[in-house]
Amino acid sequence: MIYNSIIETIGNTPMIRLNKVNKGIKGEILVKVEYFNPGNSMKDRMAIKMVEDAEKEGLLKPGGTIIEGTSGNTGMGLALAGIAKGYKCIFTMADKQSKEKIDILKAVGAEVIVCPTNVSPEDPRSYYSVAKKLNKDIPNSFYPNQYDNLSNWKAHYETTGPEIWRDMEGKITHYAAGVGTGGSMCGTAKYLKEQDPKVVSVGIDTYGSVFKKYKETGVFDENEVYPYLTEGIGEDILPKNVDFSLIDHFIKVTDKDAAVMTRRLSKEEGLFVGWSCGAAVHGALEYAKENLKDGDRMVIILPDHGTRYLGKIYNDDWMRNHGFLENKSFGTARDIISNRNGNYQLVVAEKNASVKDAIAMMNDKSVSQIPVLENGQVIGSITDSKLLTKIIDNPELKDAQVSEVMEESMKFVALDSTLDVLSSMVEKEKAVLIRDENHRIHIITKHDILDAVTK
């Protein structure tokens, strides 16, 4: 068959049965391998849909410029569409994205602007904000906004879902996918559930993302948001493409578990895939261990290709430096918490408490730093050294409320973070917070890490 351009080859990716990494799990586990798309990712599907819908609506005109914030894969899909249709492309990316992703986008003629990761979405430096400003400043430009552009989920409703249903001959009980913009998860789930309402959808989230807690409680908890490394899943916003009514369950996966499974898929299944693929499989298998039975059939989306991560996941030095290779000499945050006695109680100060009472409590409990809470949520912190400096400069502060002297909140980190990783995250005179499986909050200090290392 002869195609007129590369974008006509998008879709109809293969379904492959897992044979080794799912050992001991009941039911059949299959993966839809999206790196067979021309841009090596599932984002090709929604990229071309967003472009063609924009053309129909008159939002994208000949000679125009496509401007998008991307983790890399959507940019590649848009770039291929741009090449085929004659559009210039400018992409903004967070600096946590792999160098390979940046280089690949440049190779297909796109301009790439790298922005800081650890800023809020509203910050003018964020890759969301920079993309929006460029769209405003550049004439005849189009900002697809994959997060809120509903052509995203429609692309998967029209292609990915029908392909899975066809290839499975309608015999599918579970569908699992990572949730980032929400398009592939929700568009595909919507189609599958329309064919069979009994199909169970499992969304894979990452620690540092708001999705799981929002689904389960309806609360957008900013304290759930903290830096994480896995690319392509999780968010610190609620994209319009995420329809929580279509996601039955969420499973959270650590950066390390995702990275380790990614490498296992390559070595044990011959699937040279990207980081979020490892997250999707690890999370789906964790769910399957407890929930799948004989006769069940689960399909997992594998979004992209391993070439995007040669300098990270497939680099031993990078993996070792981040504590992702097995290292018997180091434990984890989970180990520190499990070694505490059952009477452990986190010492906290309420926002409206007096500074004098907070100091008395810290002295009584012999702690040097504590979180500050409001309505049960962590909103800040106080440390004895900085508190002392403030009171010496202004003695009247001892009668003020804690909210007037508190500092920024300690960061939440993943429960399975290794001690070497924790030590690099603990800033000077600053601890980190961990939330355990029972949603209790724990504090881990330098002293805790030193104590664990020397045991």
Give the residue carrying structure tokens 């609620």. Answer: 238
Residue 346: count of CB within 10 angstroms of its CB: 14
Question: CA–CA separation, 443 vs 427, rounded Å?
Answer: 13
Backbone dihedral region for residue 414 (phi beyond 0: left; psi -120 to 50: alpha; all else: beta): beta
Is there a domain that residue 419 lies in?
A: yes
The confidence score (pLDDT) of residue 431 equals 87
Q: Are residues 236 and 285 in the same domain?
A: yes
Name 429's bridge partners. none
pTM of the shown model: 0.76
Of the residues 82, 109, 142, which one is the last residue of a structural domain? 142
Q: Are residues 121 and 166 in the same domain?
A: no
Give the residue numbers annotated as catalytic, written as ranges: 43
Domain count, the chain: 3
Give the residue carrying structure tokens 């600053």. Answer: 430
Q: What is the CA radius of gyration of the chain?
A: 24
Backbone dihedral region for residue 205 (phi beyond 0: left; psi -120 to 50: alpha; all else: beta): beta
Question: CA–CA separation, 371 vs 283, rounded Å?
Answer: 31
- Structure letter (DSSP) for residue 19: -
Is there a domain that residue 81 lies in?
A: yes
Q: Which domain, by its residues, includes 174?
A: 6-41+151-321
The confidence score (pLDDT) of residue 330 equals 63
- Structure letter (DSSP) for residue 264: H
Contact 349, 370 (CB under 8 A): yes
CA atoms within 13 A on the CB side of 270: 4
Is there a domain that residue 326 lies in?
A: no
Q: Which of 217, 142, 155 is nearest to 181 (CA)?
A: 155
Q: Is 342 exposed, middle or buried (0-12, 13-18, 19+ CB in 10 A)?
A: exposed
Task: Find the angle CA(171)-CA(175)-CA(180) to the nearest 5 degrees.
Answer: 155
Q: Are residues 36 and 49 in the same domain?
A: no
Q: Are residues 210 and 312 in the same domain?
A: yes
Which alpha helices (DSSP H) does 206-326 contain, by range?
Answer: 211-217, 255-269, 275-291, 316-321
Q: Rounded to 5, what percent of the chain is helix, strand, coil?
A: 40, 20, 40
The confidence score (pLDDT) of residue 322 equals 80
- Structure letter (DSSP) for residue 272: -
The confidence score (pLDDT) of residue 446 equals 86
Residue 353: count of CB within 10 angstroms of its CB: 16
pLDDT tens series, the chain, 455 aa: 999 999 999 999 999 999 999 999 999 999 999 999 999 999 999 999 999 999 999 999 999 999 998 878 899 999 999 999 999 999 999 887 878 888 999 999 999 999 987 777 788 999 889 999 999 999 999 999 999 999 999 999 999 999 999 999 999 999 999 999 999 999 999 999 999 999 999 999 998 899 999 999 999 988 788 778 888 899 888 999 999 999 999 999 999 999 999 999 999 999 999 999 999 999 999 999 999 999 999 999 999 999 989 999 999 988 887 878 765 556 788 888 888 866 788 899 999 999 999 998 988 888 889 999 988 788 889 988 888 888 888 888 888 999 999 988 888 877 777 777 777 777 655 788 888 777 788 999 888 888 887 76
The CATH number that applies at residue 312 is: 3.40.50.1100
Is there a domain that residue 179 lies in?
A: yes
The confidence score (pLDDT) of residue 170 equals 97
Dihedral Cα 179, 180, 186, 192, nearest 10 deg: -50
Sign of CA dihedral 307, 309, 313, 315: positive
Please give the single-letter amino acid code of residue 366: S
- Structure letter (DSSP) for residue 314: T
Q: Are residues 382 and 419 in the same domain?
A: yes
Q: Are residues 299 and 259 in the same domain?
A: yes
Say whether 371 sits in a helix, a strand or coil: strand
The confidence score (pLDDT) of residue 15 equals 98
The CATH number that applies at residue 400 is: 3.10.580.10
Question: CA–CA separation, 235 vs 180, rounded Å?
Answer: 6
The confidence score (pLDDT) of residue 279 equals 97
Give the residue carrying structure tokens 């929006």. Answer: 132
Of the residues 254, 287, 321, which one is the last residue of a structural domain? 321
Q: Are residues 294 and 430 in the same domain?
A: no
Q: At what angle do helices 183-195 and 151-158 cross, to 10 degrees?
A: 40
The confidence score (pLDDT) of residue 326 equals 62
Name 252's bridge partners. 205
Q: Are residues 136 and 158 in the same domain?
A: no
Of the residues 293, 321, 349, which one is the last residue of a structural domain? 321
